[in-house]
Structure 1
C-alpha cells in the first residue's frame, strides 16, 4: 500500500480524527450495534480508534504496514489489540468477531482479487449473525487527485453488493452519500 505525502499528513491529523469521529463513523455505522468484539481492518494511523471504542468493549486492529502497526501499539496498545497482517490473509481465528469494519481503506487494496479475498476473510472471521460494515470514497476526479502516486483502486458501489454476496454475505445494504458510500453485509446464522 503506497500513500503520497499529502495523504499521510492528512490521515494522521487531528482534523481527520475529528472528521472520522463526527462524520465518517456516525454515518457508516448509523443504527448499527458493534457487539462486544470488533475488528477494524486497516486502522492506519488510528483515526477511528477512540470513536470505535465508544461502540464496543473489545477492539482489534489488523494493520498491514509494520510502522503503522507499531505506532498503533504505542498510541493505543492499552485500549486495543494490534495485529500485523494482510486483510486478504488474516492471521486470525474463524468466527472470532461480532463485527468487522473498515473505513476509507478499501481503495488502497491494490487488486480486485485481493479486495475480494479481504471480503472473504471478513466473512470467515465473523461470528454467525455478524456484520461487516464500513465506508469508502467514490471514484471522482478529486478523489483521484488526492491519491496521485498512491495505490488507488476504488470499489464501485454498484458492484459491491454482488461482490459481497459472492463470498456468502446476505442482507447487503449499499448507500451513497456525498463523496463516499457505506456498506453493511451480514454473515447468515445466529450468534
Structure 2
C-alpha cells in the first residue's frame, strides 16, 4: 500500500507543479518516445500528467491505487479519452499485450519496496504490446526529499541500478538519464518485439 501526505497531494495538484510538468517533462516526453494510440499511466495521482498524456495519445488508461484520488480523477476526466481505473497496477485486471506505451511519473518512490517496484516493472512489460515503450521520471534520493515525505511511503529508486532492474524485468533498449542539479532521473525502455 502506498501513501502520500497532504503536502504532497496539495503540491501535485498545484499550478506550480502543472507548469513544471509542461515546461520540463512534456518537451522531453515528446522527444523521448512515440507513445502511440493507447497509453497506460501508472500512478497519476491528481492527474496533471494525465492531462499532458491526453495531448499526446488517442486514449489513456490511468491506474491509481488511492481510491479517493481515482474517483476524483475519474469524475474530472469523465467524457474525455481517458479511463481511470482504481487498483494496484501490479494486479489490476487489464488485457496483456494491449498498450502501445506505459508511463509513470514521480510515483515509483511511493511504491512500498524494491520488490514491489520490480513486480510493477514486470507487470508493465506484460501489459505492453511487443515493441511498446515504458517511459518514466522520478526523483533521486536526497535529504530534502526525505523530509518532504514525512508520513509518506518513501522508497527512492537508485538510477544506477535501474537499467539492470528493467533488464531483469524483460525490457531492452533502456536509457536512464540523470539530470545534475535537478535531483531527478528519466528513463525509457522497450518491450522486445519478439
| 1:167 positional shift | 1.3
Alignment TM-score, normalising by the size of structure 1: 0.95
Aligned-partner Cα distance in 1 for 2:40–2:131: 15
| 1:29 positional shift | 5.0
Q: Which one is further off, 28-37 or 52-61? A: 28-37
Aligned-partner Cα distance in 2 for 1:165–1:43: 24
Aligned-partner Cα distance in 1 for 2:3–2:186: 23
Alignment TM-score, normalising by the size of structure 2: 0.94
Q: Which one is further off, 82-91 or 23-32? A: 23-32
Q: 1:150 aligns with which of 149, 152, 161?
A: 152
| 1:90 positional shift | 2.7
Q: Which runs of 5+ in 1 are unaligned?
A: none
Give CA deviations for 1:127-149 in whole Å, capped at 9, x if unaligned.
00001111000101111111122
| 1:28 positional shift | 4.6
Q: Which runs of 5+ in 2 are unaligned?
A: none
Moved over 3 A (4+): none
**Who is 1:117 aligned against?**
119
Contact preservation (8 Å) 1:39, 1:100: yes
**Cα root mean square deviation, aligned:** 1.2
| 1:31 positional shift | 3.5
Q: How many matched pairs?
A: 190
**Who is 2:12 aligned against?**
11
| 1:25 positional shift | 3.3
Aligned-partner Cα distance in 2 for 1:31–1:185: 10
